[in-house]
Copies of this chain bind each other. A is one copy, B any other.
Amino acid sequence: MTTVEPAIGDAFGDVLRECWDAGAEAGHTFEVIERDDGLLLLADAARYFAGANPWSTHEAAILPLATGRVLDIGCGAGRHLAALGDRCQPEGIDPSPGAVQVCRARGLAARVADIDHLPAGAHGKDAYDTLLLFGNNLGLLGSPEAAPGRLAGLAAVAAPGARILGSTTDPYATTNPLHLRYHQRNREHGRPAGQLRLRVRHQAIATPWFDYWWTSVAELEQVLAGSPWRLSAIERDPGNAGRYAAVLMLR
């Protein structure tokens, strides 16, 4: 059997740059997300450049709560930065140098960093009032093991009264046998059903594997218990039972 090992690199950034270079139009560049059971998910990269209108309504419903100093964590090509630019000066971080490059080419403030390496010096008056984890990025809490440290890290750069605005997907809302088998495999290994291991592939490049954790509302509340954050509101996507946005308040 042939062993396939794509070279490790900034596949996500490569996708965004290719899409941006092609005018960010739909139908040109597709992102391939690979799950560690071999599942390939394809999606048009143009969605990373979409304006506010095509967004999921559950995210749009809570976006007005983004106020003050805003940090978009995992900002991608900057669609949320662009949407917020009218009323504040949001900053974005993304571990992908290519993503940051695209944001800057679009005139958006972004730098290379990630949820485990949040911008330093964000203390006191430089602290953030809003931490954005849209686009399913509540999944960046990573795992039951990683989540407490990440929630504490987010609190460390947050101003009093700060909010996390995030979105994710309830993994239990699916009836897709592929996903149900994946859940079962997770359970057999002592992991929550919605524990995902993913990487992005593009051409002959793949990102490193990363953990992404989809949680039900109950699981989210459980991981928030004892953290510096409390669940303040839930907004469900009327078009997709599993998808929801959450507002978390700093305690």
- Interface membership of A34, Cβ < 8 A: yes
Flag if A39 contacts B209 (CB, 8 Å): no
Flag if A204 contacts B39 (CB, 8 Å): yes
- Interface membership of A201, Cβ < 8 A: yes
Q: Which of A3-11, A83-91, A145-153 contacts B (4 or more CB under 8 A)?
A: A3-11
Flag if B38 contacts A204 (CB, 8 Å): yes
Interface residues contributed by chain A, number (CB under 8 Å):
25
A74 to chain B, nearest CB (A): 21
Within 8 A of B (CB), among A81-123: none
CA distance A202 to B34 in the complex (A): 11
- Interface membership of A203, Cβ < 8 A: yes
CA distance A197 to B30 in the complex (A): 23
Flag if A38 contacts B178 (CB, 8 Å): no
CA distance A143 to B197 in the complex (A): 37
Q: Which residues of chain B come closer than 8 Å to A38, judged between CB atoms?
A: 4-7, 201, 204, 206
18 A–B contacts from the bound complex (CB under 8 Å): A2-B36, A2-B197, A2-B209, A4-B37, A6-B37, A6-B40, A7-B38, A27-B27, A30-B30, A30-B42, A32-B32, A32-B40, A37-B204, A38-B201, A38-B204, A40-B202, A42-B42, A178-B204
